[in-house]
Amino acid sequence: MSACEPGNATAHPQERPAETAASELRGANLVLIILDTLRADVLGCYGSALETSREVDELARKGVVFERVIAQCSWTRPSIGSFLTSRYPRELGLYDEKDEILADSFETLAETLKKAGYSTIGITANPNINGAFGFGQGFDRHLDSTTVFPWMAIGGDSYRDKKLMSAKEAFQAALKYIDELSPPYYLELDVMEMHEHFQDDSHSLIRSEFRDLYPEQSDKAYFQSLRQLSVDVGDLVATLEMREEFANTLFVLVSDHGEGLGDHPDVLDSRLHGRLLYESNVSVPLILYAPSRPADWRSRVSNAVRLLDLKPTLLDLLSVPRNEEDRGVSLVPLMRGQKAPAELPELFVTETEFRDYQKIGAYGTEWKYFENHDQHKGLPRRELQKIGVKENGTLTDQRESQREESRRMRRFLREFEDRFQRRPPTLRSSSLTEGEIEQLEAIGYLKKNEPDRDE
């Protein structure tokens, strides 16, 4: 268990093990591609037979696949905030999507790498992690989504009128920024093809050549989006690999959360994300690929891990000192076939507060336990579900037959909540900062001396 997890009262942060990284990646570039809303099991390298992800699967074949990764939240801002800082969403004060921001008191991966001498580039197609919400911290160049959702009073084109940035556009912008800076590089890219899968033609990001694929699938647009995104990711990696300054690079493919699709038919409002903590929503892919792959890397890691562990793992691989306040642990020992770090807890916590929904859960090796602090139709107040089984609310709840396991996991959550108190949110000011105004003026969304807009 971690020094900060329930049940461990003796370990201290200063007792963390020494860095374990191989020297091959010391000072390497880091390219972190966040495939927003991609659940793990639709990828070929995670068992899908649909052949939707040929290029991603090839990177996985040459890299390391973490087979079971649990996100700490099932919607974007708290989840990405969590794995970029290695802190729990409740510690960050990220709960609601309206005006809550990632406070600058938390050190992000970009900030850590910038202090270590990296040129830092961030591009997001998801306005939920625009700079206005605190996610521009630590970047030399940061490109926000200039299309924003209608409830966001941060300036930009309304989503009612304009679709989001495509992955191709984001990747082209990244290449432009690379030419303006010097290595080593940290690229952080969030792309939205999977998130937008259900949209009509006015907002869909699916190109025409992919729109006739998988006609037999009930969620064919989700798989079409994945096929397109896999091609685009493969093209970006191939392009970067041809550049001399990217000869030594670590590529990371990850998702912030998944998507319910049709897995939970008797649970109301379960097709998308944020409302549940089931595996469809929090079981995400994590693939690490390095062209100069260290010889001691395993191909696959079967141990369950957390997104919370991503930041310390990447810093360890790059031989960059980590922040002692990070809650996660380095997974490099697992990549080398060694035993799991002692600080990795027995149970993994995930929680969500999304609109009218509020839940907390714990994942173990055999069971997953949830407390639903809302009035979600189709769900009991507390439920115990089997790992690896598609959950269907009350109909698949095993709490009555596994009372002791339910009590054990419930005790764990109480200890977790006592240890990690909920931090009050940091709210975004109702008016734009001077820096935000300058950014909007530079891209033409505000005129000089024009008041900021509410949409």
For residue 452, the model assigns a pLDDT of 33
The bridge status of strand 64-70 relative to strand 286-289 is antiparallel
Task: Report yes or no: 428 and 101 within 8 Å, Cβ to Cβ.
Answer: yes
In sequence order, what are the beta bridge partners of 123? Answer: 143, 189
pLDDT digits (tens, 9 = 90+) for 374-408: 999 999 999 999 999 999 999 999 999 999 999 99
Task: Report yes or no: 91 and 102 within 8 Å, Cβ to Cβ.
Answer: no
348-351 long-range contacts, CB within 8 A, separation 24+: 348/70, 348/304, 348/306, 349/72, 349/88, 349/413, 349/416, 350/70, 350/71, 350/72, 350/73, 350/74, 350/277, 350/282, 351/72, 351/73, 351/89, 351/90, 351/277
For residue 429, the model assigns a pLDDT of 78
pLDDT digits (tens, 9 = 90+) for 50-85: 999 999 999 999 999 999 999 999 999 999 999 999
7: DSSP letter: T
For residue 434, the model assigns a pLDDT of 54
DSSP 350-402: EEEEETTEEEEEEE-SSEEEEEE-S--TT--SEEEEETTS---GGGG--TTT-
For residue 8, the model assigns a pLDDT of 40
Tokens found for residue 108: 């992000």
Residue-range domains of the chain with CATH: 22-350 (3.40.720.10)
Half-sphere exposure at residue 311, Cβ-oriented, CA atoms within 13 angstroms: 27
For residue 208, the model assigns a pLDDT of 97
Tokens found for residue 239: 């392009």
Tokens found for residue 404: 């002791």
Contacts of 112 (CB under 8 A, 6+ apart): 138, 311, 315, 320, 322, 323
Q: How far apart are the first and last CA of the chain?
A: 46
For residue 153, the model assigns a pLDDT of 87
Ranges in the chain, pLDDT < 50: 1-5, 7-22, 430-432, 437, 440, 443-455
**pTM passes above 0.75:** yes
Which among 395, 399, 304 is positioned nearest to 350, based on CA atoms?
304
For residue 433, the model assigns a pLDDT of 52
pLDDT digits (tens, 9 = 90+) for 275-293: 999 999 999 999 999 998 9
Cis peptide before 184 (omega within 30 of 0): yes
For residue 1, the model assigns a pLDDT of 39
For residue 23, the model assigns a pLDDT of 63
Q: What is the dihedral of CA 69, 287, 175, 440, to 10 degrees?
A: 0
